[in-house]
């Protein structure tokens, strides 16, 4: 089954959330320290991914073009509105809820990154789900930790994760026909570096150092392919 990897990823996020709910009643002081630890870890992950490519001009142009598109359609506002809608549906009266924050933050963390793309491509092209299975275990643990501080909203991030990875899996054959293997490898490197900067921004937001609208930068994960293609064409013309 082609979609088994994406489905398992969604299930692990839900299981991780369920386990995390057992620890939501820990003192706020401990929750704050845990969140700081999560933020620092996310920053390290982002920095590590950010060095995956040395084509800095491609990363910059991808972020700029992605930001223009993202701000134009205001993805951040739409994602937060969806999170608020979910929160209204599930929030108990008089409860101080972080459902929207948990949904948005977890969705960004789980969707951004090379493992989602590489794993989904492997599932679609070769029926190899090992990368997505590995990502599932990691996401399940991260969901558990996030849930201790952000609550039940983390579980809803399973929906965009399954849709995103499932969509790439289903279109993997077409992607393989359109994109040569060497170009695909370069794209994954540049997308990893671009995604790393977005994850770094999430970490800074979690530490309340910045208030970057990360969702409005998400289109850069797609524009990086076009920017890379143009960059390689220009390089070939210049010899």
Let me know if residue 178 belongs to a domain. Answer: yes
What confidence tens digit (pLDDT) does each residue in 86-102 have? 877 776 655 556 788 88
Taking residues 150-159, report their average pLDDT.
Answer: 91
Identify the domain containing residue 189 by its residue range.
Answer: 4-54+73-211
Q: Give buried/exposed letters for 14-44 (b at 16+ CB in 10 A, else e).
A: bbbbebbbeeeeeeeeebeebbeebbeebbe
Let me know if residue 219 belongs to a domain. Answer: no
Let me know if residue 221 belongs to a domain. Answer: no
Let me know if residue 48 belongs to a domain. Answer: yes
Let me know if residue 217 belongs to a domain. Answer: no
Q: How many domains does the chain have?
A: 1
Hey, what are 60's tokens? 């910059």
Let me know if residue 91 belongs to a domain. Answer: yes
Let me know if residue 95 belongs to a domain. Answer: yes
What pTM, to 2 d.p., does this model score? 0.84
What confidence tens digit (pLDDT) does each residue in 190-225 have? 988 998 999 999 999 989 999 999 999 999 988 998
Let me know if residue 157 belongs to a domain. Answer: yes
CB proximity list for 212: less than 8 A, separation 6 or greater: 201, 204, 205
* Residues 83 and 134: beta-carbon distance below 8 Å: no
């Amino acid at each position: 089954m082609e979609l088994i990897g994406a489905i398992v990823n969604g299930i692990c996020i839900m299981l991780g959330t369920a386990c995390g709910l057992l620890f939501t009643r820990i003192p706020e002081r401990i929750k704050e320290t845990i969140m700081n630890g999560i933020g620092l870890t996310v920053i390290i992950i982002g920095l590590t991914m950010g060095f995956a490519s040395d084509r800095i001009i491609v990363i910059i142009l991808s972020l700029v073009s992605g930001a223009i598109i993202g701000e134009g359609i205001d993805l951040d506002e739409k994602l937060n509105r969806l999170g608020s809608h979910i929160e209204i549906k599930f929030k108990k009266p008089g409860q101080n809820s972080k459902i929207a924050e948990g949904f948005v933050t977890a969705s960004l963390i789980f969707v951004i990154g090379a493992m989602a793309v590489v794993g989904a491509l492997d599932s679609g092209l070769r029926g190899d789900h090992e990368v997505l299975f590995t990502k599932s275990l990691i996401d399940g643990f991260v969901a558990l930790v996030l849930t201790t501080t952000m609550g039940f909203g983390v579980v809803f991030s399973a929906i965009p994760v399954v849709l995103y990875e499932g969509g790439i899996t289903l279109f993997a054959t077409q992607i393989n026909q359109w994109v040569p293997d060497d170009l695909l490898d370069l794209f994954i490197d540049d997308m990893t570096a671009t995604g790393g900067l977005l994850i770094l921004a999430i970490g800074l937001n979690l530490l309340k150092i910045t208030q970057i609208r990360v969702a409005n930068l998400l289109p850069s994960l797609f524009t990086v392919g076009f920017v890379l293609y143009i960059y390689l064409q220009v390089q070939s013309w210049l010899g």
